Amino acid sequence: MIAILEQLNLLFAAVVLIVTFSLLAYIAMQNWRNDIARALVILLAGVVIVYGGDLLLARATRAATMDVLGRAQWLGIAMVPAAYIHLANGLFAISEYQALALRSRRLVYLAYLGSLIFFLLVALGTDLVVQGGLPSGPIAQFRPGPLFWSYALFFVIGAVVAFVAIVQSQRSALTANQRRRLMYLGASFAAPGIGVFPFLVVGMPAAVPISVVLFLQAIASIIVTVMITIMTYSIAFQGVLLPDRLIKQDFLRWWLYGPFIGISIVLFIQVVPLFERLLGFPQNTLLTFGVMLMTVLMPLFVSRVKPYLDTLVYMQDQDEIDYLRKLPRSTFTRADLRALLENSLVAICGALRVETGFVLVPDANDYSIRAVCGSRREVKRFLGEYPLPDLLPQLQQLPPRGRGMLPPSDAFVACGGFCLLPLHSPDGLFLGAVAVAYQPETLQSENSLTTETRQLISVLTHQMELALSTVQMQQRIFDALRGLAPEMESLQHVVSQLEQGTAPDLAATDGEMVLSPDFPQLVKDALTQFWGGPKLADSPLMGLRTVKRVIQDQGGSPTRALQVVLRQAISNLRPDEQLAPSGQEWLLYNLLEGRFLQRKTVRDVANRLAMSESDFYRKQRIAIEEVARQLALMEEDVRS
């Protein structure tokens, strides 16, 4: 019985270790800048150290190794009380006791110093905190030293202070969601303490059987696993300016890909000896086949379960999320367009029994060759003799064909050994042209092309026109969504700030410049006179935290500081070099750089970017809103 309970305890300790380490990594990557999250990371690190030490101690056989591991565990044990005080300070900072949090910051450092002293007293082998060698056995522990009760008092104070901070923060919370999360935190905050406090150092009555102690340890491990998950979930929202649905989705996916798969693998490894005895196969053979099955089946299982979990997260927005999830499959991308043009061109060339052809399509604000069939040298020769600026006006003057009509001979433009057929949208706009190396004199004969051939050309060119029109329409929609992105992101931030805010925070929010509806106009005014002028020297943007932070580096000049901050915001918008130069991101960045940093005129920048002045002003509005969004993000970084 004791042997079974020992194995069960090791299994549950491994589960706690996997879950805690996964959640530690999650919260550290998601929300490290938040003080409450940093305190949680330290609490989880303490649990990882203690349970990792338990697993190593179970396999250790040398007394010296066991003693070193037992003392090393005190790094995790000693840091938990200080981390509780750290957590309390962070919670006071989001309550009505913000002034208390600022004054008690030194107490947090003193608490960590006290934890370090307790750990060093144990690690250096003194008998002041614990004493005696660590004996072997399933419930082996040190004996208490003279200062152990001081540590126990320190631990209790840290836990009580954290609980008081949670209660006060819950009372100060202004929204039901924030109160509910703090209630979850209050119900689960004791998990690190339950997991790491060395209860057995205190001792236990001799009448209590070892099996009872092992059973209670197993139950405690299960409770700690559940409570740590709830505790991490409740803190994952703190300070993160994202919609709740995204945080919930990220948390659930992390739990699936981290703890769930890790626990499944550990359970499998634990049952391998059982199959070894039942089937008679060597353990290495079973592990090989098991790893093969787990690596294939677990991702499949997770992919099957994930949609159902997403349904729980997006219960109120299911229709929109389902549509967005299916959108990538139904979107007709540029790669799809290229494939359709190439395949249609090959079919047309095959029907006409020619080898060379190309398709001329819009590219950003110009036209380019998108698909080629046959000899590229012949295409380059043709474009050298007939440049696109000279060729396009002839094609654009031709009237569009009616839908379903067979193209007559005069619908083609013949030049340089090629015949070009214009492509038009349903409303008659010129979209490009398809060209084939077909002899013009042969084409002029009405009997040169059979009805079937003309019908095929009509169908294929109609498909090209439909595809080009669809891609252009999609591009306009995507441009509109990019333009709305700053507003949507700002609204999401506002929702999160209001949901997590306290009364002092909301009072401060009233004066937040970046949340003002006039903020983009203030940015525009400052950029317009970037190189000097009253709108720059007297700009309210001088009050931004980011500007105040760099004033000293700029010789005390607020104007130069604001110029540095605006230049940095524009620099943050510079796209990755791998993106196409014709993309929307590069267009906005080049507009900002040319118009404001290089002081070029509107006409010069518009000509350089091949756009009309009216289109320039539309793009400039979007670009300035992007700069405003970057300034808001920079301001948030300084604030956190």
- The predicted structure's pLDDT at residue 203: 66
CB 530 within 8 A of CB 566: yes
- The predicted structure's pLDDT at residue 549: 85
- The predicted structure's pLDDT at residue 443: 54
Q: Name the pTM for this structure.
A: 0.61
Across the chain, which has 640 residues, the per-10-residue mean pLDDT values are 77 89 88 86 93 85 84 92 92 75 82 94 88 68 86 94 90 79 90 87 67 83 91 82 71 82 81 78 81 80 75 62 63 79 87 86 72 86 81 77 60 80 82 80 56 80 85 73 60 56 52 70 87 81 85 83 90 76 78 88 85 83 86 73
- The predicted structure's pLDDT at residue 111: 94
Q: Which domains does the chain have, with CATH numbers?
A: 2-241 (1.20.1070.10), 242-326 (no CATH), 334-473 (3.30.450.40), 511-639 (no CATH)
Q: What's the rounded Cα separation, in Å, for the pair 608 and 420?
A: 29
CB 122 within 8 A of CB 78: yes
Task: Quote the tokens at residue 523.
Answer: 């940015």
Q: What's the rounded Cα separation, in Å, for the pair 271 and 142?
A: 32
Half-sphere exposure of 71 (CA within 13 A, CB side): 21
Give pairs for 325-334: CB < 8 Å, separation 24+. 331/474, 332/467, 332/470, 332/471, 332/474, 334/471
Q: What's the rounded Cα separation, in Å, for the pair 586 and 569?
A: 15
CA trace torsion 120, 152, 196, 228 (10° rounding): -130
- Ordered alpha helix ranges (H), 60-147: 63-72, 74-93, 98-103, 105-123
Give pairs for 416-420: CB < 8 Å, separation 24+. 416/382, 416/385, 416/386, 417/382, 418/382, 419/443, 420/360, 420/391, 420/395
- The predicted structure's pLDDT at residue 510: 46
CB 436 within 8 A of CB 331: no
Give pairs for 472-481: CB < 8 Å, separation 24+. 472/362, 472/425, 472/431, 474/331, 474/332, 478/584, 479/584
SS3 label, residue 264: helix
- The predicted structure's pLDDT at residue 162: 93
Nearest to 411 by CA among 458, 471, 466: 458
